[in-house]
Structure 1
Amino acid sequence: MRGGDAPQPTASEPASSSQTYSSRYLQRSESAAAPSPSATETVAEPVVAKAEDAGRHVADNDLSNTEEAPAPVKTKPLRKLVPRGVQIPLAKNVKRQIARSERELGMFEGNLSSAGKDLTTLYFTSCFDGDGKTISALYAAWGLANQGERVLLIDTNITKPALQRYFPDSGPGFAEVIAGGVPLEEALHATDHKELEYISAGTLPLGAHITDTAMQDILTALKPYYKYIILDGSSVFSGSEATRMAPVVDGMILVVTCEQTRWEAAQSAEEKISNSGGNLLGISMNRRKFYIPKRIYNWLSN
């Protein structure tokens, strides 16, 4: 090594801490996907421009006296994350409830399409705990997967995880991934729906916390692989997490309990989301009461 040359990093050296999780992950994916050259393959030599006059400067973009340069090879990231976790089933009683709501679930994607394009990350929140945001997020994820879209469901409510009531809790989760100790694939679980995958909440190490920057970094790494990423988040009035994550996601859905959530609370939650820079896509009405037979309601709404 010459005295003026900087030492080159080796493959065994850890990635720089200044790199984001998404850049490190994509670099690792590209190196794994790139085929190694065989012994019979030849390496193409760079094309050297031939100048008519030795004293004439040939610009890089002057192709009149050069051979046609080969097109650059674009290395694409892997298009599929392979779950390393065990396959986990959804509770049978929840499957029966979802089957009874198939008509409403089929309308969800249509409502998203009318809300605008480029809506990949959807954060489900509510005014208070217990308003039904978790089951609403689960229904939305299952309904979108039924439309043939690849969907990822993440429990981001680390302090009060609720999706574990419907999926068995197994292995590390989102907290371990965002803390930097676990690769995405190890926390990713396949479900008994072929288009739906799941990441549990997990447990944060002592003293660690989720920042909006870390959340955005993880979502950036996940976006190329899924049509929709559904986040079961925290309620607006239980802490600051929902408003901190509002500008990070593509859209938020506020879940309210019919005939229980006061309109003043819903309006205040909407204002907090908007003032935080969030994109409130709409309100989901949970626990609706039908004062007429449901079959008549369905007939009238057609």
Structure 2
Amino acid sequence: MFKKKKKDSRTAARKLVTKDAPKSIALEQFRMIRENINFLRPDKKLKTLLFTSSSSGEGKSTLAANVAIVFAQAGKRVLLVDADMRKPTTQYTFRTTTSPGLSHLLNRQRGLDEVIKRTQTKGLDLITCGRIPVNPAELLGLKAMDDLLNEMKSRYDIIIIDAPPVLLVADAQILSNKCDGTILIVSSGKTEKNNAKRAKGLLETSKANVLGVILNNYKLEKGHYYYNYNAAKD
């Protein structure tokens, strides 16, 4: 069921500006993202939010982690789930272990309480990837994933799921159909316009509720980066 994990050199923790830079412009932008999400559907609570991108290297995992932190800072009970079972990163971001994690839950090898990891941010819990499986898409499509999401929703106010890029594998499409909302990350100067459109189209084909787009790595001024939230458009 599992394949041997390749050695990964990404051992340095990623920058969590929402935790480490309390006076930064970026922190204010993440707070704006949080409030925009809160106001998107006032008639319906958005409890499960999927973060994805068109391709790799666009910053979705770091963004998902920072958004999770600002929701926790607002007093919410938040769970961040690393569902990128092909290239997981949260173990580096939060300096923790990979296993046990999501793959163990979906294979019915562990229970939810056994895989939840606490973080230094009050109110924020974490589920890492677990051992990397041979068949991530098949695992994510199981009824076990639906059951798991329901159990998570009974415990937390917000569940943020970090999914693989849309154009590379089917995982994000499978998961987006199970979540209340999906947010697409694009990187300034890197994401090609056609790729962003293709990614949005694939998500909509999967009947995902695409809430909008976050523009990452737009340089506002020297030393600061601007994170901008926009409603998804053609």
Question: Is 1:120 aligned to residue 47 of structure 2?
Answer: yes
TM-score of the superposed pair, with normalisation by structure 1: 0.63
The change in CA–CA distance for 1:92 and 1:277 in structure 2 (over 3 A counts) is: closer
Q: Give the C-alpha shift of residue 165 in structure 1.
A: 1.7
The letter of the residue matching 1:246 is: S
1:259 & 1:91 partners in 2: Cα distance?
24
Counterpart residue identity of residue 250, structure 1: D
Q: 1:166 aligns with which of 86, 89, 93?
A: 93
Moved over 6 A (4+): none
Gaps of 5+ in 2: 1-11, 227-234
Aligned-residue CA RMSD in angstroms? 2.4
Identify the residue that residue 234 of structure 1 maps to in structure 2.
164
Question: Residues 1-302 of structure 1: matches in 2 within 5 Å?
Answer: 93-94=15-16, 95-97=19-21, 100=24, 101-116=26-41, 117-170=44-97, 171-204=99-132, 209-212=138-141, 213-290=143-220
Percentage of identical aligned residues:
31
Q: Distance in 1 between matches of 2:14 and 2:185?
A: 24
Deviations along 1:171-211, whole A, 9 cap, x unmatched? Answer: 41111011101011110011111210011100156667413
* Distance of 1:234 and 1:293 partners within structure 2: 29
- Structure 1 residues 158 and 97: CA distance shift in structure 2, 3 A: farther
Could you say what secondary structure the match of 1:238 adopts?
Answer: coil
Query: Does the 8 A contact of 2:48 with 2:158 survive in 1?
Result: yes
Q: Do the aligned partners of 2:14 and 2:62 also contact (CA within 8 Å) in 1?
A: no
Following the alignment from structure 1 to structure 2, what is the Cα–Cα distance between the partners of residues 198 and 140? 13
In the alignment, residue 290 of structure 1 is paired with which amino acid? L
Give the Å deviation of 1:154: 0.7
1:131 and 1:186, CA in 2 relative to 1: closer, same or farther beyond 3 A? same
User: Which letter does structure 2 place at the counterpart of 1:96?
Assistant: D
More displaced stretch, 261-270 vs 198-207: 198-207
Contact 1:122-1:249 within 8 A present in 2 as well: yes
Q: Is the alpha carbon distance of 1:271 and 1:198 closer, same or farther for their aligned partners in structure 2, counting shifts above 3 Å?
A: same
**How far is 1:284 from its partner?**
0.6
SS of residue in 1 equivalent to 2:219: coil
Say whether the 8 Å CA contact 1:134–1:232 is kept in structure 2.
Answer: yes
- Following superposition, the deviation at residue 292 of structure 1 comes to 8.1
What SS class does the counterpart of residue 167 from structure 2 fall into? helix
- Letter matched to residue 174 of structure 1: L
Amino acid at match of 2:101: G
Higher strand share: 2
Q: What is the DSSP-based 3-state SS (H/G/I as helix, E as strand, rest coil) of the residue aligned with 1:161?
A: coil
Call closer, same or farther: CA 1:245–1:105 in 2, change over 3 Å: same
